[in-house]
Structure 1
C-alpha cells in the first residue's frame, strides 16, 4: 500500500467524532476521543491488509464438503456424491445468495418432473443443506440459507403374502438369488447388509447372524444380530457346502455387486408387481407385526435404536394395536354404569318460614 493510500484519522467540520480518510472518502469511527479512534483505524487497516478471497460457488462448496466427508471417513459419502451431481448441474458456480426458497422449489419441481421420487428430492435438498451449513461453519460463506424440504413420502404399503413369497422364491433363476430372497425374508436385513455379509459372521453353532460390519462406522441405518430360524439354517447350510468365496451371496466365484436385475426377473416370473428388493425387509417386519410380536422387538430385529419408525409404519398390522384404548370406549361397558340424573332446574325453591329446621332448637330459641 502506497504511503499516500494509507488510511488516516481526520476531523470533519461540524462533527464531534473522528473520521478515517482513505481514497478520498471519509468514514466515521463513531469515537470522540483520539485513543478509541486509533483502535478503529488499526482494525480498518488490518482488514485492508488481509488477502481478498474469491467468492466460493455452490458447486465448489459441494465438492469441498464431499472431500471433507471422505477424508473424515464419514459414512454415506458415496450417497452424497449421487445427490451432489444434480445439485451441481443446477446451481453450478453461482454464489450462495441464489439459494432462496423460490429457487429451491424450482429445483424440486424440475427434479420431480424428471421422474425422481419425492424421497429422492428430499435427500438431495438435505445434502445441499448439510453442505451449506458446513461451509458457514468453515467460514467459506457468511451464513447458511434456509433450505425448504419436500414432505416425507408416505410409507410404502406393498408387502408379500406367504403365497407371493413362495412364488418369488420359485421364480428365482439362480441359486444365489434364491438364497438372497430366503435370507432377506428370514433376517429383515437391508440389501447392502446381505451383499456385504461374509461367512465369518454367520455363527452356525449359536445360530446367529451378525449383520454389523466392524470395519465400518455405525450409521443411523442400524444393523442387528439376528437369530437363524430353521428354514434359513437349512438354506445357509446348503450354500456353505458349495461356497467358493468368503461371501454368503456369491456368483461365479465372486462377490455380488447388485441383485436388481436378477430380482426383477424373479418377480416377473412370479407375476408380482410393485416389488423391489427392499419389499422383502418390509414384508419381514409386516409378518412379525401381524403375528403380534411386540413392536420394540420388531425394532430391535430390524436394527432400529427406537420404535418410532416401526410404530409409524407397522403398528396398524399388529392385532393388538389400539385395542386396549378401544375397549375403554366400548358402549356395552358404559351401559353397565348408568349416568346419574342431573337436576336442570336452576330456580331454587323458596323455603317456607314454617319449614322444619334441620337443626333441633328449643321453644325459647330465637329464629330469623
Structure 2
C-alpha cells in the first residue's frame, strides 16, 4: 500500500495515492494547506477502506485503521490461521459453533490453548471494532478456550549466571543481564535506547516518552552495580541508538539465543519472559513488599503482584500455619 500525499490541482488541494500503476486523486475541498492536512488522513482511510462485511474485509479495514500499532504486526500471523476458517464468512454470521470448530482444528494441529485464546481474541476485537464503526449491525459472541494460568517456571540465581556464560553472543548476554536486573519485558528491553539510560542518576526509563501507545509493565527503575558496568562497556562500543544491538542494527528477537543458552545449561524452557518472572520471584524471596515489587515491575495494580508472587515471600502465611500446630 502506497503512502498518500497532498498535491494541488487548479489551486485546490488533493489527496493523492498510487494503487499499483494507477494514480488516485481526490479533491479535499479546500485551498488551505492546514485544513488539507487535517482532512487527508481520515479521507484516505475512508476511501481506501475495503468494501464488504465478510470477516476478511472487516479484518483488512481494522488493520488499515490501526496501521502503525504493534498489534497489527501480530495480527498478520494470526490471520494465517483464522483466514481459511473465517475469511469468507459474514462478520455478523460468526457463531459459537464456528468458534468451537476452529478451536478443535487448532488443538488437533498442536496449537497451545493460550495461542487459540489469543487468535480468537483478535477476531473478537475486529468484530467489536466493526460494530462500533457501523460496518455490521452487531458483534457476535466469540467463544474462546479459557486463558491458561501463567507458567510458573523461573530461574535461580546460579542458573542465570550459567545462562549468561552460555550465551553465544554479547548482545544476548547483555539482554539477559538487562532483563534480570530491571524486570523488563522482552519488548521493553529490545526497544530501550541510550537516551533513556541516565548514567549519572543510575536510572533507566523503560517507557519511551514519545510512544503514545498503552504498554504493559514499563517502569523507571534504578541500575545496580553489575548492570551499570555492563552498560558502560556496551555504550563505549555502541553503533546504534539501541542498547541491545547486533551487526549495526536493532535486535528484533532474542528468543532463539536464550533458548539455545537454556538448552546448554539444562533449562530448555528458558525464555525472555521467564527472566522477568525470575526477577520478581527473587525480589519476593528477599522479603520486599508486594507494593514495592509492583512499582518495580510497572504493575498498575499491586493485587496482580500479590496474586502471582506473594507465595514466594519468606513469611507467606507462616503465622497462620503456626496457629494450626497440634
Q: Normalising to structure 1: TM-score of the pair?
A: 0.70
How many residues end up aligned between the 2 structures? 276
Q: Does 1:122 align with 2:113?
A: no
Shift of 1:78: 2.1
Shift of 1:150: 1.3
3-state DSSP of counterpart to 1:81: helix
| Aligned residue in 2 for 1:42 | none
| Aligned residue in 2 for 1:37 | none
Q: Does 1:265 align with 2:260?
A: yes
**CA 1:97–1:256: 2 relative to 1, 3 Å:** closer
Cα deviation 1:145-166 (Å, max 9, x = unaligned): 1111211211211111111111
3-state DSSP of counterpart to 2:221: strand
Measure the CA separation in 2 of the matches of 1:295 and 1:208: 21
Measure the CA separation in 2 of the matches of 1:79 and 1:313: 27
Summarize the alignment of residues 1-368 of structure 1 with structure 2, pairs less than 5 Å apart.
56-70=53-67, 74=69, 76-326=71-321, 329-330=323-324
Measure the CA separation in 1 of the matches of 2:156 and 2:193: 29
Measure the CA separation in 1 of the matches of 2:178 and 2:310: 24
Moved more, 175-184 or 308-317: 308-317
Shift of 1:331: 5.4
Unaligned runs of 5+ in 1: 1-53, 333-368
Larger Rg: 1
The answer as to whether partners of 2:154 and 2:278 remain within 8 angstroms in 1 is yes
The answer as to whether partners of 2:175 and 2:244 remain within 8 angstroms in 1 is yes
3-state DSSP of counterpart to 2:60: helix
3-state DSSP of counterpart to 2:204: strand
3-state DSSP of counterpart to 1:89: helix
| Aligned residue in 2 for 1:350 | none
The answer as to whether partners of 1:75 and 1:217 remain within 8 angstroms in 2 is no
Shift of 1:185: 0.7
3-state DSSP of counterpart to 1:76: helix
Cα deviation 1:287-315 (Å, max 9, x = unaligned): 11111111121111111111233222212
Moved more, 184-193 or 314-323: 314-323
Cα deviation 1:215-244 (Å, max 9, x = unaligned): 222425131001001111111112122222
Measure the CA separation in 1 of the matches of 2:106 and 2:272: 24
Measure the CA separation in 2 of the matches of 1:79 and 1:214: 23
Shift of 1:82: 2.8
Measure the CA separation in 2 of the matches of 1:55 and 1:254: 41
Measure the CA separation in 2 of the matches of 1:317 and 1:217: 35
Shift of 1:181: 0.9
Measure the CA separation in 1 of the matches of 2:64 and 2:264: 43
The answer as to whether partners of 2:284 and 2:293 remain within 8 angstroms in 1 is yes
The answer as to whether partners of 2:154 and 2:277 remain within 8 angstroms in 1 is yes
TM-align CA RMSD: 2.0
**CA 1:141–1:262: 2 relative to 1, 3 Å:** same
Moved more, 117-126 or 204-213: 117-126
The answer as to whether partners of 1:136 and 1:143 remain within 8 angstroms in 2 is yes
Unaligned runs of 5+ in 2: 1-50
**CA 1:312–1:82: 2 relative to 1, 3 Å:** farther
Measure the CA separation in 1 of the matches of 2:267 and 2:176: 14
Shift of 1:257: 2.0
**CA 1:106–1:272: 2 relative to 1, 3 Å:** same
